[in-house]
Structure 1
Amino acid sequence: MSEHHTSLSWQRDGGPFERGNYRREHRLSFERGQQLRNSAAPGYGGEADATDPEELLLAAVSSCHMLTFLALCANRSYTLDSYADDAVAILDKNADGKFAVTHVQLNPRTRFSGDRVPTAEEIVLLHERAHANCFIANSIRSTVEVRPQAD
């Protein structure tokens, strides 16, 4: 078991605070000192040059899947040279009629080298195992779809 902490700070800074008219930008601070400027998505009145919660959720799923995939490859003595993912999250109404991230699509592209290179079928199996063991994917109710891409 491990415990993780973040801090969030928001200030009105003298601006208006009324229905549909308030500042959405806030600061996220992480336990090891990193900070991030966050806001609502631009479609919900947020700042276009800040991250938003939906992007952070998507980034967490994508990053967790990659880190799990890297561990699986290293444990099998595959030399992975590169990994890239252009992930997509869909915000839509769920079965209860509430807005939620209902679908996450990962599109990982990998490049291997060395004497032991996994086949295309083995790469798919590695991604399936990475998805099954990803902490974040196991923590959300959204559908997470992994579509490995040939490089």
Structure 2
Amino acid sequence: MSNEHHYFSRITWTGAGADGTKTYKSYSRDYDMEMAGKIKIPGSSDPAFRGDATRHNPEDLLVGATASCHMLWYLHLCAVNGIIVTGYEDKAEGIMTEGGDTPARFTKIILRPHITITPESDADKAMSLHHVANEKCFIANSLNCPVVHEATIEKK
């Protein structure tokens, strides 16, 4: 038996200004993203594509979604495998390539989590759980680019 989960978001373009899309430069790329009962996310395109650098862009959100999905699976796997994690920070990076004969696309996402575990926890087991977390991550499983891990583990 399989389960379906449905996720909804409402995107409202707020950048029409006086002229809308009369020209490529006449409109703002600003929008609001809303999910019922949650904080509104102000969005825009990346500044390289005439967007507002102070707002979230789809590329940032994709990298953040990938990193947070991996973290949540990793924490779950540590909890059920007796690894006590006391700290987790990831400085994730997404690499998008444009130009040439193929459409612009992400070619790699690199997760760089720094995990702190208790002295009694098994560091080798903790490291191996990144592979399992990647296999289970809903977002990573939905991407067509590799997600690689450069994890570090500290006992404290």
TM-score, with structure 2 as normaliser? 0.88
Tell me the number of residue pairs that the alignment of Structure 1 and Structure 2 aligns. 149
* Cα distance, 1:142–1:94 mapped onto 2, change above 3 Å: farther
* Cα distance, 1:128–1:24 mapped onto 2, change above 3 Å: same
Deviation sequence 1:82-135 (CA, Å, 0-9, x none): 1000000011049961101111000001011264x022x322210000001100
1:133 aligned residue = 136
Contact 2:83 2:126 in 1 (8 A): no
Which residues in structure 2 correspond to 1:63-142 (within 5 Å)? 63-93=68-98, 97-113=102-118, 115=120, 117-119=121-123, 121-142=124-145
Q: Secondary structure at the match of 1:21?
A: coil
2:17 aligned residue = 13
Contact 1:94 1:102 in 2 (8 A): no
Which one has a larger percent strand, Structure 1 or Structure 2? 1
**Unmatched runs of 5 consecutive residues or more in structure 2:** none
What is the RMSD of the two structures over their aligned residues, measured on CA atoms? 1.8
Q: Which of structure 1's runs of 4+ aligned residues deviate more than 3 A?
A: 93-96
* Cα distance, 1:103–1:28 mapped onto 2, change above 3 Å: same
Question: What's the % identity of the aligned pairs?
Answer: 26
Rounded Cα–Cα distance in structure 2 between residues aligned with 1:129 and 1:94: 34
**Unmatched runs of 5 consecutive residues or more in structure 1:** none
AA at the equivalent of 1:133: K
Rounded Cα–Cα distance in structure 2 between residues aligned with 1:126 and 1:74: 11
> Which of the residues 37, 51, 60 maps onto 1:32?
37
